[in-house]
Structure 1
Amino acid sequence: MTSPPSLSARLAALCLAPVGRHARERATLHILDWYGCAAAGAATATGAALWTGLMLPGRPGEAADPWHALLFDAAVGNILEMDDIHRAALCHPGPVIVPAALFVGRRLRAPGTAVLDAIVRGYEAAIRLGRAAGAGHYRHWHPTATCGVIGAAVASASLLELSGPATAHAIGHAATRAAGLWQVRLEPNMAKAWHNAHAAQTGVQAASLAQAGATAPAAILEGEKGFFAAMCPGADPHAVLAPTGDWQLHDTSIKPWPACRHTHPAIDAALVLRERLPGRQDPPARVDVATYADALGFCDNPMPRNPAEARFSLQHAVAVTLLHGEPGFPAFAPEMLQEPTVAAWRARIGPSLDDAAQQAYPAHFGAALTLRWGDGRVLEARLADARGDPERPLAPQAVAAKARANLAAGGWPPARTDTLVAHCLGLPMTSTPISLPHIPLPTEVLLS
């Protein structure tokens, strides 16, 4: 009797389906968004440290080409917390899958359409795995790396034109190396970026191994010592193959602000209430932020010590938004953390669990914000989804504007930015080899 196909084989077959123009056009926005996020991330002290640390040991300034370029590209896309996210998968696909696909595409001189197809397929694999891995996995593991590595493998396999069985082996090789521990978010450090770099490189190498005929465990996902058994308590492996109406790329959110996505519903609600505030001279006595448990677990931090912690602070994000409007990079700079008025407002903000938001999570990221004055006045706003989610998507023009602003913040000159934007948006019509650049290291640290 023939054994039924493994989960990795069925996932590979599903992801290798034909990709249409609509999905390709959406993928161009995620490439453009990644470029902006990565260029800005490269302009930080973390970016500079990674650039140097990824050089050949004992040979400062000598790059381990070509892997150095891929590792750096993948490392910097998440540093400033502006990268895309799939809510139900709790995964940021872009920082891992986009640089991996571009790397392989350049090496193969692949046309733009092939690179876009690879990205769509890579997102599909990572997101489906993340949805199945569930909350038990998210408790200790970083899904952007653990699931992103498999997305990078599928994207690379797509560009290498591997068969379904060979792509299943690429998935197997990637899954055996899946890693990324959440201790990185509990103390000041730069290691989270290394998760993404490792995942992108491993995904590319996994597909290369499969192309060479190297085999991997067929049951690496569902086996008794496989991915779900070892890393995902309470997982639903069958969710990997659950029917969906469209490619999962279309259900992926693009962030408008440089902060952890768990803060964004509260930021959005703060923007709503800011329009109704009586003024800074009449501050509320208390600000209540009610949201879901993971937002509290990741972002309940009333006294952030540095910009990285500020990007994971509900109190800081809401305070600067109520005071200054839409939060850009300056909202999380050291000067803003130390600003007395911001600190005073942070102290008034109390996060709590909201039952409605918790029940909707992770399919929806919601929050309620309530401002209370001592004389009994109350202002309230509740949002079920944040700006940039599929229910409230950013227009293509807004994505391009975000990318342009981030590229400028990363030191890119306007002419170079114009060329990049035009090239990205033209990829669905491109049959010639792609010529999109790697992320360079700016000459100085521009962002914190």
Structure 2
Amino acid sequence: MCFLGGERQLKAGSTVTEEARSGFTNRLAAMVAETPVGAFSDAALAAAARAILNFVGTAIGGSTQPSQAILSEAIGVGAESGPSTVLGTRIRTNPLSASYLNAASANVLDFDDTHLPTVAHPIGPVASALLALSQQRPTSGTVLLQSLILGVEVACRLGRSLTPAHYARGWHITATTGVVGAAAGAARAMGLPLEHTSVAMAHAATQACGLVVSLGAMSKSLAVAGAARNGLLSAILAERGFTAPANAIEAPFGFVDLFGANASVDLPRRIDRPGWELESVQLKPYPCAVVINPLVECGRAVAEAVGSDEIATIAAHGPPLLLIRANRPNISSRGEAQLSAQHALAATLLHGQPRLEDFGEAAISDLRLADLRARIGLVADLAHSIDSARLAVTLHNGRVLEWEVGKNVAIGQRMLSPQDLEAKFVTLAVPVIGEERAARIMSDIAGFGAAVDIGAVMEKWNFMEKWN
């Protein structure tokens, strides 16, 4: 049977009452289940294909990290077999375990994606659930891309309803909203009607979790991995008749009430937005926290103008979030390095931009980088937002030079061109699977929109010789 994103239910109609439709949970569910297949623009579908390529690249690149081996062994995937691929490996397992491991590996390098209005990374949980599901249930490329668009839409719209109180209180918004997005995307791909889609999102909402305090540690990826798995599980449970309240998102003691403080008053305005959120999700240009990017852009300009040995001190001005999240002058692990503004800026000054290898063990212990980190101080400046920064660089000769986004630095958040994205994929994938295989996967994903069965396409990825 081919699950075509709810087309059967669209033709048959829905029995949901107008009163039930007025609830926010059901309004989101109606968008997921009943958006016509012709409502997706070419630009949105192209953005979805780019998002898949970025996700697969980061998952393959992250698959060799020590945390992935620990997770795989802990959940026992080596002792079983199944239809779904753990990207970057020869492991086949059940869709729930594959979605869990792939979401973790795509998140571990901090090289994934960002929805700037919410500072969430919404693609990973949704894409991971959909790709794992597509290897168990025949799913066309068109349905996969549309389901990704809708799943990300749900996650981002919920994120907007919770921002800024949610993240400020310490909830990891990628995971808390990502689980609902993954459930929504999976429900669309499975062809669930409105009623079951609403239930799937309610199941996901009650499993939402993730703490910001985990950022910088291996546990950061646990909640993101759980968001993919639990979102997929939520859709499967809904399909089988496992019940949930119809108003889990907006009800008293529900999702928004718990996670968003007083955010519920903005829920109608923030949920009913035009356009597709996925088109504005940025694919990360650097393997570090997104709040650091404007400093990196300024640092690139500094590196072109002066040598790192000429610099005495740097005052790095950015939004308060920069200090709250990325003030880490002393680091001892990759996770900490990826969240260190001082380290990312030091790597930029030394190498022109932060590279994947600049966050590995050798770079962490590099005395040149340690020396540069010690010269950098962070300054919280309310004049700056997540896409702006200013560097005041004092040279050993006493001169003070300044670089600032919007003045002598053009941008704070760099958008990846198609060529940039391909180069990023190659950087991530080739060390794990080789050039020929990386090129094959890029070509396959470029053709996803015309694919009859995504699982059949991915089947060819798993049994290649010399795959790890």
Q: Which residue of 2 aligns with 1:151?
A: 181
Report how far residue 100 of structure 1 moved.
Answer: 0.6
Deviations 1:303-322 (A, max 9, x none): 11122111111111111111
Matched residue, 1:227 = 255
Report SS of the residue matched to 1:219. Answer: coil
Over 3 Å counting, the alpha-carbon distance change for 1:27 and 1:78 in structure 2 is: same
1:80 counterpart (109, 125, 128): 109
Task: Give the drift of 1:207.
Answer: 1.2
Distance 1:10 1:3 in 2: 9
Match of 1:361 in 2: none
Picking from 168, 189, 200, the partner of 2:228 is: 200
The correspondence for 1:173, drawn from 195, 203, 213, is: 203
Change (3 A) 1:118 1:181: same
User: 1:43·1:441 contact (CA, 8 Å) conserved in 2?
Assistant: no
- Distance in 1 (CA, whole Å) between partners of 2:308 and 2:439 is 39
Helix, strand or coil for the counterpart of 2:299?
A: helix
The answer to whether 1:45 aligns with 2:66 is yes
- Give the equivalent residue in structure 1 for 2:11: none
3-state secondary structure, aligned to 1:275: helix
Please list, as runs of the form range in 1=range in 2, the aligned pairs for 1:351-362 lying within 5 A after superposition: 351-358=378-385
Counterpart for residue 241 of structure 1: 271
Pick one of 433, 456, 464 that aligns with 1:435. 456
Q: Is the 8 A contact 1:85 1:253 kept in 2?
A: yes
Please tell me whether residue 8 in structure 1 is matched to residue 25 in structure 2: yes
Letter in 1 for 2:456: S
Instruction: Flag structure 1 segments of 5+ consecutive residues without an equivalent.
Output: 359-363
Post-superposition shift, 1:182?
A: 2.1
Q: Secondary structure at the match of 2:391?
A: strand
Q: Distance in 2 between matches of 1:433 and 1:442?
A: 17
Structure-2-length-normalised TM-score: 0.86
Alignment of 1:299-310 (within 5 A): 299-310=326-337
Report the CA distance between 1:405 and its aligned residue. 1.1
Residues 276 and 2 of structure 1: CA distance in aligned 2, closer, same or farther (over 3 Å): closer
Does the 8 Å contact 2:176/2:208 carry over to 1? yes
The residue identity in structure 1 corresponding to 2:371 is: A
Q: Which residue of 2 aligns with 1:399?
A: 421
- The change in CA–CA distance for 1:96 and 1:442 in structure 2 (over 3 A counts) is farther
Query: Which whole-Å deviations, capped at 9, do the CAs of 1:63-121 have from their partners, x for residues lacking one?
Result: 68303222211221100000011011221112211111112222221111110000000
Contact 2:389–2:412 (Cα < 8 Å) also in 1 = no
Q: What is the SS of the residue equivalent to 2:285?
A: coil
CA contact (8 A) 1:51 1:441 kept: no
Equivalent residue, structure 1, for 2:41: 20
CA change 1:388–1:266 in 2 (3 A) is closer
**Could you say what secondary structure the match of 1:352 adopts?**
strand
CA distance in 1, matches of 2:403, 2:457: 42
Offset of residue 270 of structure 1: 0.2
Higher fraction of helix:
2
Cα deviation for residue 423 of structure 1 reads 0.7
* Secondary structure of the corresponding residue to residue 371 of structure 1: strand
- Say whether residues 1:213 and 2:235 are aligned partners: no
TM-score, reference length from structure 1: 0.89
Compared CA separation, residues 242 and 375, structure 1 to 2 (3 A): farther
Q: Deviations over 1:381-427 (max 9, x none)?
A: 222699795xx521112111101110013x11222111110010111
- Could you tell me how far apart the structure 1 residues matched to 2:427 and 2:411 are? 18
SS of the equivalent of 1:267 reads helix
Shift in CA distance, 355/29, structure 1 to aligned 2, threshold 3 Å: same
Residue of structure 1 equivalent to 2:356:
329
State the distance in 2 between where 1:3 and 1:326 align. Answer: 52
**1:78 match: secondary structure:** helix
CA contact (8 A) 2:345 2:354 kept: no
Give the conservation status (yes or no) of the 8 Å contact 1:74–1:200: yes
The SS at the match of 2:384 is helix
Matched residue SS, 2:316: strand
2:88 alignment counterpart: none
Q: Which residue of 1 aligns with 2:89?
A: none
Q: Residue 392 of structure 2 corresponds to which residue in structure 1?
A: 370
**Separation of aligned partners in 2, 1:85 and 1:26:** 13
* CA 1:387–1:443: 2 relative to 1, 3 Å: farther
The whole-number CA distance in structure 1 between the counterparts of 2:40 and 2:354 is: 36
Amino acid aligned to 2:321: D
Does structure 1 conserve the Cα–Cα contact (< 8 Å) formed by 2:161 and 2:271? no
Give the letter aligned to residue 163 of structure 1: P
Quick check: 1:42–1:440 contact (8 Å CA) kept in 2?
Answer: no
Match of 1:262 in 2: 291
The unaligned stretches of length 5 or more in structure 2 are 1-17, 83-92
CA contact (8 A) 1:12 1:164 kept: yes
Q: Is residue 55–residue 68 contact of structure 1 (8 Å, CA) maintained in 2?
A: no
Work out which structure has the larger RCO, using CA pairs closer than 8 Å and 6 or more positions apart in sequence: 1
Q: Secondary structure of the equivalent of 2:136?
A: helix
| Aligned 8 A contact 2:48 2:145 in 1 | yes
SS in 1 for 2:315: strand
- Between the aligned partners of 1:123 and 1:90, the Cα distance in structure 2 is 13
